Structure 1
Amino acid sequence: MTATMTFRNLDIEPEAPVEEWGVAGILTALERGGITQWRAIAAAVMADPWGRAARQLEQALTCVDADSGFDESGVVYTMRQVVTNSRSRAEADERRAVAGRVRDMVDRSGLAAGEFASCVGTSASRLSTY
Structure 2
Amino acid sequence: MPATVREDGVEVQISPQFFRNVTTTPSTPIDDWPHEVFRAVLEYGMVYDWRIVADFVRAHPWGKAAHTLEEVIDYSDDLDTYHLMKRILHNARADAQEGERQQVASELASYVRQSGMTQKDFALATGTSASRLSSYISGKTDPRASYVVRARAAALNT
What TM-score, normalized to structure 2? Answer: 0.72
Give structure 1 regions of 4+ aligned residues with deviation exceeding 3 angstroms: 1-5
Q: 1:121 aligns with which of 127, 130, 138?
A: 127
- Where structure 1 has 5 or more consecutive residues not aligned to the other structure, the ranges are none
Q: State the match for 1:33 in structure 2.
A: 45
The alignment partner of 2:114 has SS state of helix
Equivalent position amino acid for 2:66 in 1:
A
Distance 2:97 2:133 in 1: 19
Residue 18 of structure 1 contacts residue 53 of structure 1 at CA under 8 Å; is this kept in 2? yes
Distance 1:36 1:56 in 2: 20
Q: CA deviation at 1:5?
A: 4.6
- Where structure 2 has 5 or more consecutive residues not aligned to the other structure, the ranges are 3-13, 137-158
Q: State the match for 2:96 in structure 1.
A: 90
Distance 1:64 1:43 in 2: 21
Distance 2:15 2:59 in 1: 25
Q: State the match for 2:68 in structure 1.
A: 56
Per-residue CA deviations over 1:12-68 (Å, capped at 9, x if unaligned) read 1234322111211111111112223211111221111111011000111123221xx
What TM-score, normalized to structure 1? Answer: 0.86
Equivalent position amino acid for 2:72 in 1:
A
Equivalent position amino acid for 1:54 in 2:
A
Distance 2:47 2:29 in 1: 16
What is the RMSD of the two structures over their aligned residues, measured on CA atoms? 1.9
Query: Aligned residues, how many?
Result: 124
Higher relative contact order (CA 8 A, sep 6+): 1
Distance 1:63 1:110 in 2: 54
Q: State the match for 1:104 in structure 2.
A: 110
